[in-house]
Amino acid sequence: MKNKRKHFGDRKDGRRVRGCAPMDFLAPYIMVERNDASNLFCDSFDTRAVDTYINEKRKEGLKHFGLTHVLLASYVRAVSQRPAINRFISGQKIFARNRIEVNMIVKKNMAINEPETLIKVIFEPTDTAYDVYEKFNAAYKESFAVEENSFDNTAKILNRIPGLIKKNMMWFLKTLDYFGWLPTGLTDVSPFHGSLFITSMGSLGIPPVFHHLYRFGNVPIFMAFGARKSVNELGEDGKIIKKKYLQYTVVTDERICDGFYYASAFKILKRLLKNPRQLDVPPEKVYEDID
């Protein structure tokens, strides 16, 4: 994303949006917390085109290329066309985020006692599916290349602090974050700061949950997706067709943009999932958020 000149009131992680309608500026004072402004959205899509696309990419040598890569690439492309979904609310103000940051909690092995860790991946709006694959896999490998990554080390340090002190310290950190004064070293490893938090329920074999938005930090969208589900449908010729659908849920902070804008962004995402080959090339044009 282009780096615009900073103005008074901007943050390290975002540029103050000043061109919204009056009600948009009032909403964060009426709905103070993200969970006050949460909208829940559920949809599904026929995975035949995506499954074919995944198989093609694996034959090209993209080992373990999968649904997560396609969904992330589609989201990044949607941001490039509808940049307001990459806004966030902090200190009751609206900001356009400087970059696309995606957070995901992962396990190295699917076992009950296997510890979780966070990966945070930075994307550009011009990224293709190949770019998303490379960046996501690099972050994943880096996270498990060491016994404990930066997120794990930070969590361990915080957990050494006695409970009462830790409670007051969290209040202090929230206050710093309210004014945009939280150290970059913390926001860079924080799962609570970013454009999107995504989680896969498919590997667990269960439907996607509607995950709450965190009161701390500024993540405005939480997406979850489940396992493929086989459905028998009646075709136009009267014959039974077996299709596979993937259900996904999205929880959004309605204060960053209006419902019409959100809907247009999700329509772009769904069109890409119907024709994922569009993700092989950069977008013809990248749109900038308003000032």
**pLDDT score at 5:** 64
Token look-up 């794990």 returns 152
**pLDDT score at 53:** 97
Query: DSSP label at 266?
Result: H
- Measured CA to CA, the distance from residue 19 to residue 201 in angstroms comes to 38
- Measured CA to CA, the distance from residue 202 to residue 206 in angstroms comes to 6
- Measured CA to CA, the distance from residue 48 to residue 265 in angstroms comes to 22
Among candidates 2, 96, 23, which has minimal Cα distance to 259? 23
Query: DSSP label at 85?
Result: G
Report phi then psi at 278, rounded to 5.
Answer: -60, -20
Contacts of 266 (CB under 8 A, 6+ apart): 41, 43, 78, 250
Helix residue ranges, H only, 82-188: 129-145, 150-159, 163-178, 184-187
pLDDT, one tens digit for every residue, the chain (291 residues):
555 667 778 999 999 999 888 999 999 999 999 989 999 999 999 999 999 999 999 999 999 999 999 999 999 999 999 999 999 999 999 999 999 999 998 766 655 556 677 889 999 999 999 999 999 999 988 877 766 666 767 777 777 888 888 889 889 999 999 999 999 888 888 889 999 999 988 777 788 999 999 999 999 999 999 988 888 888 777 788 888 999 999 999 999 999 999 999 999 999 999 999 999 999 999 999 987
- Measured CA to CA, the distance from residue 139 to residue 118 in angstroms comes to 10
Please say whether the beta carbons of 251 and 38 come within 8 A: yes
- Measured CA to CA, the distance from residue 232 to residue 235 in angstroms comes to 9
Please say whether the beta carbons of 103 and 198 come within 8 A: yes
Question: How many CA atoms within 13 Å lie on the side-chain side of 35?
Answer: 7
